[in-house]
Amino acid sequence: MLPTPTTKPRFDDIFMDLATNLARRSHCIKAQVGAVLTRDTRIISIGYNGPPAGTHNCDEEFPEVGCPRDSKGSCSLALHAEQNAILYAAKNGSEVEGATIYVTLSPCIACARIIYSMKIARVVYLNSYAEYKGIASDEGVDFLRRFGVTVERYVPIQHHEHTGT
């Protein structure tokens, strides 16, 4: 009897699963975001949102309310997941030009500018920053698309059983 063929997961699925799991590492009490920076089928770097390493953990220092907010209502002390992944790659001399970044929340405008400046070619995101923030549009996505970066909302493949008819 021949073995039953199995469906191998796409790399998009693998990397988004990893980004989703990385988000669980975040010490932020407001939002947990994960990122995976890849080239071809290899991981260059990973990141999740939170304060710079060695400073503090929001869920421990500010357990009820989270860290102080900036003028836009965002965390004033945190680096975003994309920033952490890109900074770690740069710190270690990894080449990020032409890479793909997988993020559980679409990039804000500040992260979009960094992604564009670092010449990352493709962004795959799970959830909308605009929907999360209650704003009209995904400014970061709009910015990236305007300047030629491929941006895609992640959609998992639905597996259907074939009946043969």
Structure tokens at 87: 């900074």
Catalytic residue among 82, 97, 139, 161: 82
Q: Look up tokens 């945190």; give the residue.
A: 78
82 an active-site residue? yes
Q: Which pairing describes strands 100-105 and 122-127: parallel, antiparallel, or unpaired?
A: parallel
Structure tokens at 56: 């503090």
**Nearest residue to 106 via CA among 38, 31, 157:** 31
Q: Which residue pairs from 157-164 have beta carbons closer than 8 angstroms and sit at least 24 positions apart in sequence?
A: 157/10, 157/13, 159/7
Residues labelled catalytic? 82
